[in-house]
Structure 1
Amino acid sequence: MNALVYKSTGSWYVVKNENGEFFNARIKGKLKIDNITSTNPVAVGDIVDVDQEDTEDGDMVITNIHDRKNYITRQSPHNKHQHHIIASNLDQSLLFATLKDPKTSQGFIDRFLVASEAYHVPAIIVFNKSDLYKKKELDKFEELKFIYERNGYKVLSMSLAQHTGIDEVKDLLKNKTTLLSGHSGVGKSSFINIVFPELLLKTQNVSDWSGKGLHTTTFAEMFDLPISGKIIDTPGLREFALMDIEKNELSHYFPEMRALVNECRFNNCMHIDEPGCAVKQAVEEGKISADRYVSYVNILGTIDTKKW
């Protein structure tokens, strides 16, 4: 039978079948996963085939993964040669960021946006804790909002403490499968608990199904929303190292650079020190944010040219 993966613990998975029933399941044998060397062969959001083993225990086993519409992956924090698939089959990604307590760096934001672009997942940025912002942070928010919105990204401001901006974010989730991501402490879990308090009980129930002594905050988990739609809550990310992005294609994942790459003098322009570079000229003219260009250069410097 077909089922949808709601939680992955690395060994056991919580899946939901077409009748709305939840089961524990494990992997049987080696599964074909699009030639990806991954630390988690089955990801939250995957559609899988599940069968019951003809054994005394009668365990449910995952025998096949259906083709993914898309996914977001990053470098495994434990093995730089392997992927860690964060989630699959997404309609959009929503990055929670903060300008204070804790401060989300623009470099982290840009890495997340590059991953979303590379894997064809529309991205939204939500700056939380706006109640803490003083003039410095308010000015920075307006600057970032301008930078990202002119490049096609939706940018929102929200304060859970003052209950402002929440409905606008909530409306974006209707009828969508949305990945929620961000550093620890930016308010992802608080947002879920405030807007969908009924999910608190469901969180406990899922833990009962799949717990086996595992910490519930360690793994990504999907929830059905009462407003119709699904959210995938992820553990707080300390860093976001990219995978499978070539140096010569990185600029294509910056929309403002992608629009200009054909105007550079050289087809293989890396936009660093080449003459006749349209991207560098746009930076000098203020048409491309200098901070975004710095992010591009920094990310370029971390891309390993080796093939694995």
Structure 2
Amino acid sequence: MIGTVYKSTGSWYSVKTSNGKFYECRMKGKLRLKGLKSTNPVAVGDHVVFELEKKNDVETGIIKRIEERRNYIVRKSVNLSKQTHIIAANIDQVFLLVTINNPPTLTSFIDRFLVTAEAYSIEVILLFNKLDSYNDDAIGELKYLNHIYSKIGYKTIEISATENHNVSKVKNLMIGKVNMFAGHSGVGKSSLINALEPGLNLKTKEISSQHMQGQHTTTFAEMYDLSFEASIIDTPGIKGFGVVDMEREEVSDYFPEFFKLKSQCKFHNCLHLKEPKCAVKEALDNDDIAYSRYRSYLQILEGDESQYRTDYWE
């Protein structure tokens, strides 16, 4: 039988077949994936081949094979730096929720996420949430970030999940697609999903006032089929986001505004560091490239492990 993984709890997987029936499945032995050491060999969104077995009148499945993935979002495991964690697979687009100060989403986190998505050709739409809760200074910062990323070419939407502001715009973009929602804990993923599909009643929690961080309400990634012909993968709040397996020479290719200028650099293998006649550095000097983006590029290029572990709030 063939089905799609809708939920993973680490050892058991809820798999939905084409006829709409769900089976609880597990793996027998270890499934090896080509060249990828992962803490979770099977991810939500995976298409799997499984066989049924019956014990004590209970029918469960044994996963035999994972079908080839069209794409996936992967990050370094925060506690096991040599291994990766696959957040979700076979995604049409990702909505990355960003908040300014409750909790803060740093540009280093946004950029690492965008670079990984670019590497696997996954479209990311930035949702600047909690518009209703900001003072003038925070609104100014939101507008500045919106300007940076929309100028690069990313689709951005300013929303308030609790006030239902621009939620219909998000809904229209989701129709007919497998959508993933991502972001730090507390940025409003569950609130937005509830606004899109009130019947799901996902749990939400308040922000911790002591540390201005979100409290985890989603423990495992899970896919939901929505009433308006869309699917959504809700993910646990992502803390740090470590970029995986990129050669130094290719990192700039995943910064669209850098890639656009690459052919104008004097050297075809320019790393945009201290090379003469570098079009990227010239654009940076002329404020045509945001300094925060260049800083993120340097951190990834240098393999700054400390940064991806500290771009979130404990």
TM-score after normalising by structure 1: 0.90
Residue of structure 2 equivalent to 1:103 = 104
Deviations 1:180-239 (A, max 9, x none): 0000110001111222122238xxxxxxxxxxxxx9821100000110111000001111
Runs ≥4 in structure 1, deviation > 4 angstroms?
Answer: 54-58
CA 1:115/1:11 → structure 2, altered by over 3 Å: closer, same or farther? same
Instruction: Tell me if structure 2 keeps the 8 A contact 1:247–1:303.
Output: no
User: Which deviations, in whole Å up to 9, do the C-alpha atoms of 1:228-261 show, x marking residues without a partner?
Assistant: 1110000011111111112111101100001111
Query: How far apart are the structure 2 equivalents of 1:222 and 1:187?
Result: 17
Relative to 1, partners in 2 of residues 1:226 and 1:14: Cα closer, same or farther, differing over 3 Å?
Answer: same
Superposition pairs of residues 71-150 of structure 1, within 5 angstroms? 71-150=72-151
SS at match of 2:198: coil
- 5+ residue gaps, structure 2: 203-215, 306-314
Question: 1:154 offset after TM fit, Å?
Answer: 0.5
3-state SS of paired residue (2:15): strand
What is the one-letter code of the residue matched to 2:237?
Answer: G
> Residues 274 and 34 (structure 1 numbering): CA distance in 2 closer, same or farther, change over 3 Å?
same
- Are the equivalent residues in 2 in contact too, given 1:32–1:65 (CA < 8 A)? no
CA distance in 1, matches of 2:49, 2:163: 45
What's the CA shift string for 1:8-41, capped at 9, x where partnerless?
1111100001110011000123324232111000
Q: Distance in 2 between matches of 1:10 and 1:22?
A: 17
Secondary structure, in 3 states, of the residue corresponding to 1:39? Answer: coil
Match of 2:14 in 1: 14
Q: Residue in 2 aligned with 1:251?
A: 252
Could you tell me which residue of structure 2 aligns to residue 269 of structure 1?
A: 270
| Cα distance in structure 2, aligned partners of 1:88 and 1:8 | 12
Aligned-partner Cα distance in 2 for 1:239–1:30:
27
Deviation per residue, 1:95-130 (Å, 9 max, x gap): 001012111111111111011101111001001111
The match for 1:25 is: 25
Q: How many residues align?
A: 292
Deviations along 1:36-64, whole A, 9 cap, x unmatched? 11100000000011111376665311101
2:19 matched to 1:41? no
Partner of 1:226: 227
> Residues 271-295 of structure 1, C-alpha deviation per residue, up to 9 Å, x if partnerless?
1111111110111112211221111
User: How far apart in 2 are the matches of 1:200 and 1:249?
Assistant: 42
CA–CA distance in structure 1, aligned partners of residues 294 and 35 of structure 2: 32
Find out whether 1:188 has 2:189 as its counterpart.
Answer: yes
1:49 counterpart letter in structure 2: V
Sequence identity of aligned pairs in percent?
47
Asked if 2 retains the 8 angstrom alpha-carbon contact of 1:261 and 1:279, the reply is: yes
1:46-85, aligned counterparts within 5 Å? 46-53=46-53, 58-85=59-86
Q: In the TM superposition, what is the alpha-carbon distance from 1:303 to its structure 2 partner?
A: 5.7
What is the DSSP-based 3-state SS (H/G/I as helix, E as strand, rest coil) of the residue aligned with 2:97? strand
Counterpart check, 1:290 vs 2:299: no
The answer to whether the 8 Å contact 1:100/1:129 transfers is: no
Letter in 2 for 1:160: A
Match of residue 5 from structure 2: 5
State the TM-score, normalizing by the size of structure 2. 0.88
Of 76-85 and 64-73, the range deviating more from structure 2: 76-85
Is the 1:126–1:158 Cα contact (8 Å) retained in structure 2? yes
Which segment drifts farther, 37-46 or 158-167?
Answer: 158-167
Q: Retained in 1: the 8 A contact 2:162–2:192?
A: no
Give 1:159's aligned residue. Answer: 160
8 A Cα contact 2:23 2:60, kept in partner: no
